[in-house]
Amino acid sequence: MKIKLRILTFIIIAVISAASPAQAGFFTGGKLLPLCESGSASENRACEMYLVGITDAHDGLQRLGGLSREYFCLSKGVSLPQIRKLFITYANENPRYLQLPASRLVIGAFAEAFPCK
């Protein structure tokens, strides 16, 4: 588990470091989407790790009382390729959100697909 966390931390730092000065401070949906749509296994994996990071952060904040509500509740057994495809579909159907931070776009996609009951 510690290794996965270190890899995820490295990926997030690398992604944020790659942001242009005009977009410093966040990684947009428009930058995440090409990684997710790429035919490259390593880029698809980077996308999936970003998505996992969002779900882990959401879960951690919820457990620590840092969220006023749960924004999404992932179904048990959902796979990384499934959530990547779900994000791709949502992003392509909502191009007006691509300039927003990727985290907002991901949360929107997950909230629509996995609402909490």
The confidence score (pLDDT) of residue 18 equals 47
Q: Supply φ then ψ for residue 79, to 5 degrees.
A: -95, 160
Half-sphere exposure of 7 (CA within 13 A, CB side): 12
The DSSP call for residue 20 is -
Strand partners, 28: 101
Listed by start position, the domains of the chain span 2-113
Query: Is the pLDDT higher at 82 or at 70?
Result: 82
pTM of the complete model: 0.75
Specify the amino acid at residue 85.
K
**Each residue of 22-66: pLDDT tens digit?**
444 578 999 999 999 999 999 999 999 999 999 998 888 888 888
**Each residue of 77-90: pLDDT tens digit?**
999 999 999 999 99
The confidence score (pLDDT) of residue 6 equals 56
Q: Supply φ then ψ for residue 77, to 5 degrees.
A: 85, 0
2-113, CATH topology level: 10k-s Protein, Hypothetical Protein A; Chain A (1.10.890)
d(CA 108, CA 44): 20
